């Protein structure tokens, strides 16, 4: 029986996975894991990158550069989806995601070789940003190709299970990057890691690239694409057909707002924002934070497969939407529990130390800065950002027009200067980074033997479980929404707008909300509102797709 015939019957009974299908899944997943590994290194090693490629001692400039570099990769992902999606629908799935893999691997390797600012000047940050743009473009083409390729090999009744292996790759790639970095940090001095050790994970990508190319070259083209080419029904203008035709464009909009937008914010909240919250808000040291996140990812990853398999039984839609709803309803209590576990002194300070700012409302802006290019000079903005950076809760009160910024701590006047106010708040009870009360267990054994660490891991595991609910079924859903002739293009764009923009800009958006409101938990409103919006739109407009024949 041919591979194509496995997917042709709308009511064909599920059967065991064949050897060829197993090879398809392994090859597609392995290559995609390495692409995600490459992409996430820039975020995990942001401090080292900034120190190497940005001149001077201006920490703000370095932070802005890191944000811009990381955001650049997310920003261009939809454009990669359009460019490579078009190629995938015209020349084939296999060769397109081979190209994306080479672009990703080479650009990552170049970062590892890139000379410092002291050596080549401003060419260093420019080339780094260019490499990040190439990585984002490549990732924009990789995911759609891998998901489409696996789904078009899968038999009816097993697409959710087969594509769920692709869904593990983003988390496994993040996990792999954290493990490699941790191993290097623990095997050398901090000075050696800062000098050259941080480059090793980037240089390793060339080995991963060679392995990925070798394993993917052994694959045949997707049977659905081959059949379409033989029948002469492939699209000669897939982008125009996918997005210039309202019937197809409407499907893309429903897929975005009724599926991938909510999926994206739940994914990034459960993994990236959780790590950001631990290190930036709760001031946990990076080694311990990476350890507890890595353990929670390891525990949660098998559930991608479980929910993908379950979506073949009960449908894609109920699992995806349930994940969005449950996450939105539980984020506040879960993150509050996490904060009380990791940094109880901080939570006590938010309740016992009252910091109040009084300012002319015209002197306070929104603080929204998703790619780190705005410069804030007004005292109200500078002070609020500093308080948010130091996780200090404050209340903002409107003052008379033209009045200067005034600060108070527990009803007593306080200095309104940035450093002085932060110091005064910390003297009143707010913990500094490195405070002895903050959870710190730098070794794997200590983490597993400590009750506070285990509780933090349990909470993080629940957040990852939500990730697996929304992400496990999404690939099968997107593949099934679009016809074969425009599938690569059609599914890639809503996926990468959702994950590249709605999800990728979650940390800076959440930080802007925290800085503007003065509440360390208020950034959660962003993923909650988006996830609830997806739940409502998906409930009303998103069709169930699990029994569709994707050869038509």
Residue spans per domain, the chain: 19-342+442-541, 347-428
pTM across the whole model:
0.85
User: Once rounded to an integer, what is the mean pLDDT over residues 426-442?
Assistant: 91
Same fold, 19-342+442-541 and 347-428: no
- Give mean pLDDT, residues 203-217: 86
Q: Which residue in 370, 448, 357, 445 sits closest to 404, CA to CA?
A: 357
Q: Taking residues 333-343, report their average pLDDT.
A: 97
Lowest mean pLDDT among 115-129, 230-244, 273-287: 230-244
Return the pLDDT at 295: 92
pLDDT in tens, 486-509: 887 788 888 888 888 898 888 888
| Cβ atoms 107, 80 nearer than 8 A | no
Write the CA distances from 76 to 62, 104, 120, 130, integer angstroms: 22, 13, 26, 11
- Assess whether pLDDT exceeds 60 at residue 472: yes
Q: Judge whether residue 356 has pLDDT over 90.
A: yes
CATH number of 347-428: 3.40.30
Sign for the CA dihedral angle at 321, 84, 172, 434 comes to negative
93, 150 Cβ separation under 8 angstroms: no
3-state DSSP assignment of residue 219: coil
- pLDDT for 372 beyond 70: no
pLDDT band of residue 4 (cuts 50, 70, 90) is very low
pLDDT above 90 (res 523) = yes
Q: What is the mean pLDDT of the chain?
A: 85
The pLDDT assigned to 28 comes to: 79
| Topology given in CATH for the domain delimited by 19-342+442-541 | Growth Hormone; Chain: A; (1.20.1250)
Q: pLDDT-based confidence at 370, cuts 50/70/90? A: low
Residue 326 — pLDDT band, cuts 50, 70, 90? very high
How do residues 34-63 score in pLDDT, each as one tens digit? 777 877 787 778 778 888 887 766 665 666
What proportion of the chain, given as a percentage, has pLDDT over 90?
40
Among 141, 142, 165, 139, which residue's Cα sits nearest to residue 154?
165
Compute the distance between CA of residue 370 and CA of residue 385 in angstroms, rounded to an integer: 14
| pLDDT of 313 strictly over 70 | yes
- Non-local (6+) Cβ contacts of 180 within 8 A are 37, 200, 201, 204
- Whether the predicted pLDDT of 222 surpasses 80: no
Integer angstrom CA distances of residue 96 from 75, 90, 124, 239, 408:
21, 10, 30, 16, 60
Q: What pLDDT band is residue 145 in, cutting at 50, 70 and 90?
A: confident
Position 224 pLDDT exceeds 80: no
* Residue the block writes with tokens 């240089």: 203
Q: Which residue has the higher pLDDT, 511 or 259?
A: 259
Lowest mean pLDDT among 120-129, 195-204, 213-222, 352-361: 213-222
> Which span out of 76-90, 173-187, 394-408 was modeled with the highest average pLDDT?
394-408
**Going by C-beta distance under 8 Å and a sequence separation of 6 or more, which residues neighbour residue 192?**
none
d(CA 154, CA 308): 13
Mean per-residue pLDDT for 144-173?
85
Specify which of 14-18, 59-63, 114-118, 300-304 reaches the highest per-range mean pLDDT: 300-304
Whole-number Å distance between alpha carbons of 159 and 147: 10
pLDDT at position 138 is 86
Range with top average pLDDT, 115-129, 205-219, 287-301, 314-328: 314-328
Q: How big is the chain by its Cα radius of gyration, in Å?
A: 24
pLDDT band at 218 (very low <50, low <70, confident <90, very high): confident
What pLDDT, on a 0 to 100 scale, did the predictor assign at position 173? 85
Mean pLDDT of 469-488: 88
What is the pLDDT at residue 3? 39
């Amino acid at each position: 029986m041919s591979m194509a015939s496995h997917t042709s019957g709308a009511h064909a009974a599920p059967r065991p996975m064949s050897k060829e299908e197993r090879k398809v899944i392994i090859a597609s997943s392995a290559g995609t894991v390495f692409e995600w590994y490459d992409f996430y290194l820039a975020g995990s090693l942001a401090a080292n990158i900034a120190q190497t490629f940005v001149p001077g001692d201006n920490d703000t400039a370095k932070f802005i550069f890191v944000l811009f570099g990381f955001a650049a990769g997310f920003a261009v992902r939809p454009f990669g989806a359009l460019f490579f999606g078009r190629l995938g629908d015209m020349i084939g799935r296999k060769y397109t995601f081979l190209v994306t893999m080479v672009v990703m691997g080479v650009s990552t390797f170049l970062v590892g070789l890139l000379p410092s600012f002291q050596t080549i000047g401003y060419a260093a940050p420019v080339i780094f940003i260019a490499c990040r743009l190439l990585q984002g473009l490549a990732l924009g083409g990789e995911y759609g190709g891998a998901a489409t390729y696996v789904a078009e090999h899968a038999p009816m009744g097993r697409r959710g299970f087969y594509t769920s292996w692709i869904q593990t790759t983003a988390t496994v790639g993040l996990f792999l990057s954290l493990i490699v970095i941790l191993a290097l940090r623990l095997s050398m001095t901090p000075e050696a890691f800062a000098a050259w050790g941080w480059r090793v994970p980037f240089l390793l990508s060339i080995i991963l690239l060679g392995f990925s190319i070798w394993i993917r070259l052994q694959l045949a083209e997707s049977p659905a694409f081959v059949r379409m080419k033989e029948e002469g029904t492939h699209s000669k203008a897939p982008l125009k057909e996918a997005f210039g035709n309202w019937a197809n464009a409407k499907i893309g909009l429903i897929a975005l707002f009724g599926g991938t937008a909510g999926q994206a914010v739940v994914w990034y909240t459960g993994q990236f924002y959780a790590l950001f919250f631990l290190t930036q808000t709760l001031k946990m040291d990076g080694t311990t934070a990476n350890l507890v996140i890595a353990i929670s990812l390891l525990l949660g990853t098998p559930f991608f497969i479980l929910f993908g398999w379950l979506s073949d039984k009960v449908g894609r839609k109920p699992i995806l939407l349930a994940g969005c709803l449950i996450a939105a309803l539980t984020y506040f209590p879960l993150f509050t529990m996490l904060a009380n576990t990791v940094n109880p002194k901080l939570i006590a300070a938010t309740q016992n130390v009252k910091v109040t700012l009084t300012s002319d409302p015209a002197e306070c802006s929104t603080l929204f800065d998703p790619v780190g290019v705005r410069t804030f000079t007004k005292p109200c903005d500078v002070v609020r950002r500093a308080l948010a950076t130091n996780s200090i809760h404050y209340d903002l009160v409107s003052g008379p027009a033209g009045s200067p910024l005034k600060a108070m701590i527990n009803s007593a006047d306080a200095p309104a200067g940035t450093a002085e106010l932060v110091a005064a708040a910390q003297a009143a009870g707010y913990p500094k980074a490195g405070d002895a009360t903050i959870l710190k267990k730098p070794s794997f054994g200590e983490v597993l033997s400590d009750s506070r660490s285990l509780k933090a891991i349990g909470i993080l595991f629940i957040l990852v479980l939500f990730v697996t609910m929304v992400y496990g079924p999404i690939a099968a859903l997107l593949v099934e929404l679009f016809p074969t002739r425009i599938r690569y293009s059609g599914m890639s764009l809503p996926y990468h707008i959702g994950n590249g923009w709605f999800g990728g800009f979650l940390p800076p958006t959440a930080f802007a909300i925290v800085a503007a409101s003065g509440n360390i938990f208020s950034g959660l409103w962003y993923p909650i509102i988006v996830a609830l919006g997806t739940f409502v739109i998906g409930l009303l407009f998103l069709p169930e797709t699990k029994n569709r024949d994707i050869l038509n």
